[in-house]
Amino acid sequence: MEQVASWISADNSFALLAVFFAIAAIATTIEKTRIGRRVSGVMFAIAMAMALANFGVIPSSAPTYTVIWTLLVPMAIALFLIRADLVSIVVEGGRTLIVFGFGVMGVIVGAWLGTLLLDLGTYEAEYAGVFSATYVGGSLNFAAVAEAIGFRDASALAAGVAIDNVVGICYLLFVGAMAGNALFQKHFAWRADRLGTSSGSVVTQARAPTVLDFSVSLGLAALACAAGDALASLFGQPSYGILFVTAIMVAVATLARRWLSEIAGPELIATLFMYLFFAMLGAGADLTALLDAAPALFAYVLFIFFVHVVFVMVGARLFRLNHAEIVIASAACIGGPPISAAFAVLFGWRRLAVPAVAIGVLGYVLGNFVGIGLFEWVGP
């Protein structure tokens, strides 16, 4: 999109931040409504920022946007990974870890084969990286991998996010429908008689976060980012600092799991940072370019989902997993921990509530490695 004069100038950082925080507040409020739950707050954030940029209220590029890219996105990843305790993930993940592994392989193979069968244009390798990352982990992995591989075209990224939301929601609706399908349940009924029993984990009421919680969370995230960047430079891969950040946070979260479990609210800060990221994408998006990219990306995402489903079904059949474990693992792959946990509660599968969160967090850990690895594999 050609840069034109805007009502708020590109160097007015405080005004731009005020607008972006307002967008985040409005988007999260809308997300609580019936329409918002179906469309997602992310789409509203992108749409609002896009409208403001196209009507000349905010600029399509600004130094503030660079700060969001380079500082807040890595911080968001580190904050989310505070809960990435590998011991708990392995212990609590249970049998769902098996089908989750097959689901991850399906995403990787689908994303790779899709680049061979479809013409995604200039950003083929970049799309393979960000889509595989988000369908193994979540939206934060999409942002982190885009930052790591230098994928900065806001229009191309906004098109990817739009397709991800539309097709992703449709897929999750499909998974939800399959969960209640009698034929599906009959063919994958092994060990399904105890799904309604508790997992045995004690669920405590989350307390309100304090200034100390936020200080420790942000300080730990910043330290991990600094150390990750330093190690990346030391090993001659300065652009891939996010991989070292991920490894550091997983190690810290595992070794200090009891202490870190007492910290409240790191996800709140990370979610806010991600809303700022998506608003930034909307501000820089060229609507025409977004629409032009849609058909090929639409087919690409559908193909990834198709291969993912094939791998999940094969894995479930080989290891005799039941219908609930299939649904939870697939939802954790494509939708992340909140969606998979919601499915476990919605369908009364109390035994799978904790595994749903555990394998979803594992997806956050793996997403960056998968996305960057596939980008390097597909790229020239």
Higher pLDDT, 159 or 117: 117
pLDDT of residue 40: 67
Question: Residues 141-167, buried b or exposed e (16+ Cβ, 10 A)?
Answer: bbbbbbbbbebebbbbbbbbbbbbbbb
pLDDT of residue 202: 39
The model's pTM: 0.81
Residue 64 CA to chain centroid, in angstroms?
23
Residue 144 forms part of a structural domain: yes
* Amino acid residing at 31: E
Q: How far lies 178's CA from each of 310, 336, 357, in Å?
A: 14, 18, 20
- What is the C-alpha to C-alpha distance for residues 20 and 338, in angstroms, rounded to an integer? 24
Task: Tell me the torsion sign for CA atoms 78, 79, 80, 83.
Answer: positive
- Band (pLDDT 50/70/90 cuts) for residue 58 is very high
Contact 284, 161 (CB under 8 A): no
Residue range(s) defining the domain that contains residue 133: 82-199+207-269+289-378
Average pLDDT, the chain: 86
Higher pLDDT, 119 or 349: 119
Residue 41 forms part of a structural domain: no
Residue 182 forms part of a structural domain: yes
Contact 188, 326 (CB under 8 A): yes
Tokens coding 20: 């972006």
Region of poorest pLDDT, from 6-15, 121-130, 261-270, 351-360: 351-360
Tell whether the model's pLDDT for residue 205 goes beyond 70: no
Residue 181 forms part of a structural domain: yes
Higher pLDDT, 234 or 350: 234
Higher pLDDT, 46 or 64: 64
Lookup result for tokens 């999260």: 28
Contact 96, 359 (CB under 8 A): yes
Tell whether the model's pLDDT for residue 201 goes beyond 60: no
- Band (pLDDT 50/70/90 cuts) for residue 203 is very low
pLDDT of residue 254: 92
Instruction: Give tens-digit pLDDT for 291-301.
Output: 666 788 889 99
- What is the C-alpha to C-alpha distance for residues 163 and 52, in angstroms, rounded to an integer? 21
- Band (pLDDT 50/70/90 cuts) for residue 170 is confident
- Band (pLDDT 50/70/90 cuts) for residue 223 is very high
Tokens coding 65: 């946007």
Torsion on CA atoms 371, 114, 361, 280, rounded to nearest 10: 60
Domain count, the chain: 1
Arithmetic mean of pLDDT, 65-88 = 89
Long-range CB contacts for residues 335-344, cutoff 8 Å, separation at least 24: 335/138, 335/168, 335/172, 336/137, 336/138, 336/139, 336/360, 336/363, 336/364, 337/138, 337/361, 337/363, 337/364, 339/172, 343/175, 343/176, 343/179
- Band (pLDDT 50/70/90 cuts) for residue 166 is confident
Lookup result for tokens 């649904």: 327
Largest CA distance in the chain: 64
- Band (pLDDT 50/70/90 cuts) for residue 161 is confident
Residue 152 forms part of a structural domain: yes
Instruction: Give tens-digit pLDDT for 34-54.
Output: 777 666 677 788 889 989 998
Arithmetic mean of pLDDT, 138-153 = 90
Residue 281 forms part of a structural domain: no
- What is the C-alpha to C-alpha distance for residues 94 and 84, in angstroms, rounded to an integer? 16
Tell whether the model's pLDDT for residue 55 goes beyond 80: yes
Instruction: Give tens-digit pLDDT for 299-358.
Output: 999 999 999 999 999 999 898 888 888 999 999 999 888 778 778 877 778 778 778 888
How open is the CA angle 372-378-380, to the nearest 5 degrees? 105
Residue 211 CA to chain centroid, in angstroms?
26
Arithmetic mean of pLDDT, 109-115 = 97
Task: Tell me the torsion sign for CA atoms 256, 257, 263, 265.
Answer: positive
C-alpha radius of gyration, the chain, whole number: 20
Arithmetic mean of pLDDT, 282-299 = 76
Question: Residues 125-134, buried b or exposed e (16+ Cβ, 10 A)?
Answer: bbbbbbbbbb
- What is the C-alpha to C-alpha distance for residues 101 and 314, in angstroms, rounded to an integer? 12
Residue 255 forms part of a structural domain: yes
Nearest to 274 by CA among 130, 81, 141: 141
pLDDT of residue 291: 66
Which residues, 6 or more positions from 203, have their beta carbon under 8 angstroms from its beta carbon?
Answer: none
Range among 179-183, 205-209, 243-247 with highest mean pLDDT value: 243-247
Tell whether the model's pLDDT for residue 199 goes beyond 90: no
Task: Tell me the torsion sign for CA atoms 70, 73, 74, 79.
Answer: positive
Arithmetic mean of pLDDT, 59-65 = 92
- Band (pLDDT 50/70/90 cuts) for residue 57 is very high
Residue 115 forms part of a structural domain: yes
